[in-house]
Structure 1
């Protein structure tokens, strides 16, 4: 092992002088970094506190805006004359026999609690005179609502009755746990935040908005691990994120700054301008301290590492300079020398070198005449060596790719088939062999060609040459296609060549051109070459007709009808020679339409099994693969819908069968209720619970679907189609058709019943 430090270090040696200078600089730098880290630590602490202050400000603005929006949205219903008329009827519902107005009120409320941004769990309208309520699930007595369906020890029926006498138009009540007690089963409704809203001038009714308190906290709080609570102007808690910590009294909060360290927590306060609530966020002090401790540890480790590396580098650098000098001096001292002739200086090594150089200059004068005679020979010898050296450098340059030359990029997309895996062969090795073969073929034509693997199935070649030479690149590509076609039973290759680019600065543009061009790959079992020329990918979209037909066949639960639809779409895409990208987009659209259909049936969370992976779609090369994939996707969904249909009760089955066979008649909810000998309100609630749709929406939906089928017959007039599906007024039919389809019956017939378009 070579020595690390010279055997003897003298005070006047070059090594000691250089090492001392390096160490002095290292000490100054370490001291500077240490002082800077102390200063930055205090600054970072202030920034962390400031960040939490901004966080509580953001939270307060979120809550205040949400309360204001909730109030405005509910009070905005008063702008609707129909809403006010229905409320006046329901205030004395028994006297007015106004139960028919319940559905209209619920329909207006649905626009509010169905809005996902409002976080309304429910909206309850409490009428004092008949002691009943209207909410999203229907109507019930006040005793059942607050004793069974929304029960909380904190909010008994007497509490809500007492609110009729208060003169408060808007009030946010403390959050509480609500449960539903029905048939001996207790079901948790959630941690809800009641908001009481009175509409002027009514004193015998008011609205209760049930906000989901936990979702509000998740939406309006940046940090989820903080302790958070809200106090009303009197200091009573409105909401707490956890029940295991002490709540500061309002007097202590008002006397404090916006943030303060109390005990083991940094407490941040903020008062809302709209409600007057006080919002309090408690962040563990140890969380902030831990961040600073980690920062200190990182800085200390960095300082130590920097000092150690600097010292080692200084020693090595000093030694690298000292060692050659020491060897030179030892060679000088091998001949007799008189140390008395040395002039003393600050560095001993330099003194020896200066004395030796003086002797060398005197020696040069003695050989000057001898060198003059040999100048001619030496000049020829030097020129010869110089020429050889230049010649070697030029050869080295020829072996490198000149990136200033024009170039083209060729991209190879490789898809291995199942037969390749059956041979127990590794895909990585297969890609490697294909890459090597591509490289050998291109190098036969282009000297400056570089081929390498980009991804698991992508190989890229860059060819440098003159413009005239690059125009013939399709010849080796055509040869590669012939070779790849021989083994197309094992794998398929799609090739695309870029345009000619002038310099390497255009590499990115060339690669983007090829990735877009590869999207042209068609669904054929052969090697493909994507030809030159611009190409812009067009996205595949479901038309209105396709979406309606898909939904109708899927909801019917018939496998054959659904699979016939798949064959129809695949056949049309095959006739158009659609690229594989469009087939993949069709698969994704089908997945989205399945979700929409299952949501209508309230079955979205009941899908069983695992959907086939979308990643496999890009490797498909024939129609049957896409059909098998879509069948695998749809099969469990159809089975689920069939089970849903089989589970329908006799009442729902009777209504559906009756509507299907009497669709041309004037059908109403009262008519169906009379045939079943039940009340219309009960039938409406029951039908919605079983099917997931209102009776009127279901009736209009199947009428419009039947009308679309009849519109395919161009010999039927619009008036005749309307009468066949139960609309006696053509204007009502046109209006309802446009509402459910987005276009008029005439536009639908022109678009989908035309023989030219159908072809």
Structure 2
């Protein structure tokens, strides 16, 4: 009976329970690894095949949807009113209409998701071409500007006689040979759309084959083919010597093993067959290598686990035995431990230390809370007293050690207020608690408190052996970035200051760094002073006049283009996010004042979100561009609608100047035609448009001259005459005043940019 009791006591000891626990875990892990290994060997090949089939299905879907989208875009151009004019009036070409078509093409090409290099309109009867760069003849287009050995001018001319409405041709490299140095246009798939019944016009959409491949090909393997219904290769990224034909591919979908490769294929609604090639040798070698690694790791894990379990059990059991002996010596008559399945040593320790630990925990928690509150009020009062010029008094709770001050500025995005049920104060509190916890684990002495509603301040007193503060902040940034779609932070770090007398200087320096934040939606850490090459600037005087005139005239495209150009300039100069916000507020105030002057501010109340709210949620260049494109387009539309509906005098002036800008014009001439005095027309025009008649006329002429200088080879003197200046010196002087540089330099700069 005594031996049985001794065995039971030994089995209930800490050493044996640790050892049995480790062994149970080892057996469980070994079983799991063995089952995983068996399952992997039986299913890995099928999973690889299924994975590649799913990837190919996604690729086929993306390609087919894109081809359908391109057809819709091309047919929208084909049946547009401008194209109808040229198709009906052929062979007579109206260059004003052609210019509008070219602008429409450029607008469509501005959408990068279409992966279009160009859209070419080829009129059969005249051989006339309209594309993004302008107009030309078909022979020049396909022998100079878009030259390819596979697609000559005779090839395109013959395509009018082919019996189809739309068709994709094999990809080919196109080259611009109009200059001495040949320039590559890219590797493109021509996609032809025409009216098979009456082929007067053919639209050729030049698809960027490599961009489509990068965007749509869903596989880590880059071996990819596209064959049309005739078996021709529309696109290929594989070795030219590697051949596959439609005869080898049975059915509309499946996979085929040829030699050492798997061919996954699928036929789309357009009749094209898409093929993804995966080397079988690579798959087999990876499986064999992985099997060897898994078996080796399994054996190594078993040996290490058994040895570690015995070692840890001994190392943990011996100190605890000494602790138990010490407690027994302090109290010779301990109460019997509860042996209901628990470890006897832990039960004895728990009986003796529970009351002591509970009392100590209560006292420690109470002291920690009181000390934290005292530190918070002490630092807050010290900062505010220094900043407001109060008396500087020292408290014993304020540390006089070297410190670093960190400011966490929180920006809540509009999405937070729309989707989250809690208010921002609640979120700011949790962020403060996380910051306090994260810093306290790294630094022995840290104080974190909320200075403003969305501003948290941390004081860190670093020691020599503690990690660098910027390294800790980068780790915290990874956590903050997980919620960047709801909010993000700007973290400003001061240098190390020697004592608490520099608190105010550190705080002011850190808050000034917050303004150096650049555009972006992620958390940014600003530890060093950033050298920025740009600061906020409004429009120049001439830009101000141009913006004001176009805004009052309701010229949406011009207003949007000027604003986007300014945003692009700020971005190139690496302006801060504050600079973008200041510039946007400046432009928004001008637009709102103009709407108020025309009694159109009521239109804004009909929208769900005020423009100020939408603008405050812009944090990237793309977001700013999207906001201004939509808002300015809508606002100028309201202005133009009101002016056209209620102002016949200025409408007459605008229409007359649009058609007679090259004539000898004067204010008195137009007043005569309106049967009013020149003084009345001058005052009326200035009141309605916000600018003088002469400024509007000269600005209009200069804009037309810009277009001529960019898109024609006319001499400067001829351009001056055509826009209404008989004296070339007057034209040069006026052009420099409104454009900022002489016409010759403008043409040279435009050609270099082009």
Provide the TM-score with structure 2 as the length reference: 0.47
Structure number with larger C-alpha Rg: 1
